Amino acid sequence: MDRRQDAGPLRLRLRLRIHAGFQWLLAPDGDPALAPDVVNCSWGDENSLSTEFQQDLRALRAAGIFVVFANGNSGPRPGTVISPASLPEAFAVGATDSGDRVAYFSSRGPSPWGEVRPHVVAPGVGVRSALPGGIYGTMSGTSMATPHVAGLVALLRAVSPTLDITRTAFFITSTAVPLSTTIPNNDSGWGRIDAFAAVSALMNAGIVRGTVFRSGDGAPISGATVSATFHGDGTGGSATTDASGRYTLPLAPGPYDLTARAFGYAPATRYGVVITTGVVVTADFALTALSTGTLRVSVADGATGAPVTATVAVLGTPLTATASLATFSLPAGDYTVRARAVGYYVVTATASVVAGGTTALTLTLPPAPSILLVDSGAWYYGSQIPYYRQALDDLALAYDEWTVRQIPDDVPTADTLAPYDIVVWSAPYDAPGYIGAQNAITTYLSSGGRLFLSGQDVGFLDVGMPYYWKYLKARLVEDSSNIWTVEGLPDTPFAGLTMTIAGPGGANNQAYPDVVAPYDPDAASASRSGLHHL
């Protein structure tokens, strides 16, 4: 039977099974007492107008069951929310990435009924997920974000089993972290969920707040950590002070030991601070500065001896400076100092600081090519940039990074590339010309720039681009080699080297590695067989 002819009956059977599933949830095994508090639904129909399951959701809502739905992965265009997330009875969830930005694929509102969608967003990019066969992997989607919200509902119901659906939604939305100046909105709803804040609000927790300041002159200490340890089981929470040295920490009722810590100061503890529901307790801390010495770091060019402006970091501390002469006030002790400047190798050295004394340290940086590392995989969450960072870091090479998070806003221009001797461009599943960087790369290469370009489909996507055949001297042979090893050819820098691009030790992200060859044999030659990177 033709699949298209069979699609209707298959969809009908699927819908009937979902209806039956919702019915079963109302009384598992015929017992309403076994009905769940919350149901996670990481599925939907691209037809946002569908009301197929509206009556089911109304029945679950009447039974006090909170139903959470994925908003869909058809963004970023408005009005792309899927059904049943689009229905008034559903609680819809969008996805955010590791930078707390709404994922580009996350479907947007409004719903066909003019309602805000999603209600909230949650982490949905690069989430560790269960896969078929009892294994785990990394996946992205609003289907990964939705279980975070379902878990939060379960936490709230665990604290208050009689919490109704309306108040549950209120605690989630009212404590969410806004991701926009307009709240709510059809990108992120009321914001990214904050489980700790939601549960604290429900518990009407007590609050401890105060100021951490320097003993003697009362100067505020920013970036200090105040941690709470509950008597008996060691659990609690922590908060970080703002620029004015202030902190606020919600805690469940009970006695706590509070400890304030900051670099360069001796910690201070207040024992037996009692937290009471709905009461604000003040706990200030005066920290005593440790005895310090001065560390002066000079950075010089290894070839000319001239001063070099570099980023100087005292490792293991929060202290950094960008200068050719950096001065740090440090508690007495031994430190590792690192200087990093593009166009030079990274250099580290150790220094001993004596209380009341001054230690001078000169870091001489050997010249190196200036390098820009372009991460073109970020805009579709396929980044493989850690491999390149590791290679450059292992070589002690300093480099700048350019991340392409949005197209076309973040596409590098010719001016972006021009200052660098070498551009290392990672395009796991896309290509420079494909995202609109053809002119930028052509200008860069015609001016003498050097490009290291890697990706499985660069040849397939950019085969007709002038930079590809004219400057890189490459041509596409076929779309997929079905080869996942790379071997260095004799009489090349890679002679005797065998690498794998699949499994342990490889990026393991190649499905259709291109087969490429020199376009002009008089100007270019292959250095590796099984070549898929260019």
Report pLDDT digits (tens) over 420-437: 999 999 999 999 999 999
What is the predicted pLDDT for the residue at 436?
97
What is the predicted pLDDT for the residue at 1?
34
Contacts of 327 by beta carbon, 8 Å cutoff, 6+ apart:
294, 295, 296, 297, 321
356 near 373, Cβ under 8 Å? no
Model confidence at 529, pLDDT cuts 50, 70, 90, reads low
pLDDT at 320 over 60: yes
Model confidence at 534, pLDDT cuts 50, 70, 90, reads very low
Instruction: Quickly count: other Cβ atoms within 10 Å of residue 329's Cβ.
Output: 12
Model confidence at 524, pLDDT cuts 50, 70, 90, reads confident
Report pLDDT digits (tens) over 121-134: 999 999 999 988 99
How many residues comprise the chain?
A: 534
pLDDT at 246 over 90: yes
What is the predicted pLDDT for the residue at 237?
87
What is the predicted pLDDT for the residue at 131?
87
292-301 and 358-365 as β-strands: parallel, antiparallel, unpaired? Answer: parallel
In terms of average pLDDT, the best of 110-114, 229-233, 278-282, 527-531 is 110-114
What is the predicted pLDDT for the residue at 531?
43
How much is the mean pLDDT over the chain?
92
Cα four-point dihedral sign 414, 416, 422, 426: negative
Q: Which residue has the tokens 């806003």?
A: 409
Instruction: Quickly count: other Cβ atoms within 10 Å of residue 105's Cβ.
Output: 21
Tokens of 468: 């590809």
SS3 per-residue string spanning 293-325: EEEEEEEEECCCCCECCEEEEECCCCCEEEECE
Q: Which residue type does 85 have?
A: A
Query: What's 413's DSSP letter?
Result: -
Q: How much is the average pLDDT of 339-360? A: 97
Q: How much is the average pLDDT of 323-347? A: 97
Q: How much is the average pLDDT of 357-361? A: 98
SS3 per-residue string spanning 79-110: CCCCECCCCCCCEEEEEECCCCCECCCCCCCC
Q: How much is the average pLDDT of 232-249? A: 88
SS3 per-residue string spanning 107-154: CCCCCCCCCCCCCEEEECCCEEEEECCCEEEEECCHHHHHHHHHHHHH
**Alpha-carbon span 161 to 250, nearest angstrom:** 22
**Alpha-carbon span 410 to 416, nearest angstrom:** 10
268-275 and 371-375 as β-strands: parallel, antiparallel, unpaired? Answer: unpaired
3-state SS, residue 156? helix
What is the predicted pLDDT for the residue at 519?
87
Largest CA distance in the chain: 88
3-state SS, residue 488? strand
Tokens of 187: 């990108």
Q: How much is the average pLDDT of 391-399? A: 97
- The model carries a pTM of 0.84
Tokens of 162: 């009689």
Q: Which of 86-90, 303-307, 452-456 is predicted with the least confidence, judged by mean pLDDT? A: 452-456
Contacts of 526 by beta carbon, 8 Å cutoff, 6+ apart:
489, 517, 518
3-state SS, residue 60? helix
Compute φ and ψ for 375, nearest 5 degrees: -105, 95
CA 76 to chain centre: 18
Tokens of 240: 């970080």
% of the chain at pLDDT higher than 90: 79
Report pLDDT digits (tens) over 470-508: 999 999 888 888 888 888 888 888 888 888 877 766 666
Report pLDDT digits (tens) over 205-217: 889 999 999 999 9
* Helical (H) or strand (E) element with 459: helix 458-462
Measured between alpha carbons, how far is residue 386 from residues 170, 370, 373, 390 in Å? 40, 19, 11, 6
**Alpha-carbon span 441 to 420, nearest angstrom:** 12
Is the pLDDT higher at 521 or at 193? 193
Report pLDDT digits (tens) over 26-45: 999 999 999 999 999 999 99
Report pLDDT digits (tens) over 148-170: 999 999 999 999 999 999 999 99
Contacts of 53 by beta carbon, 8 Å cutoff, 6+ apart:
18, 19, 22, 83, 84, 87
What is the predicted pLDDT for the residue at 528?
62
Report pLDDT digits (tens) over 455-466: 989 999 999 899
pLDDT at 512 over 50: yes
**Alpha-carbon span 480 to 166, nearest angstrom:** 53
Is the pLDDT higher at 44 or at 10? 44
**Alpha-carbon span 419 to 444, nearest angstrom:** 9
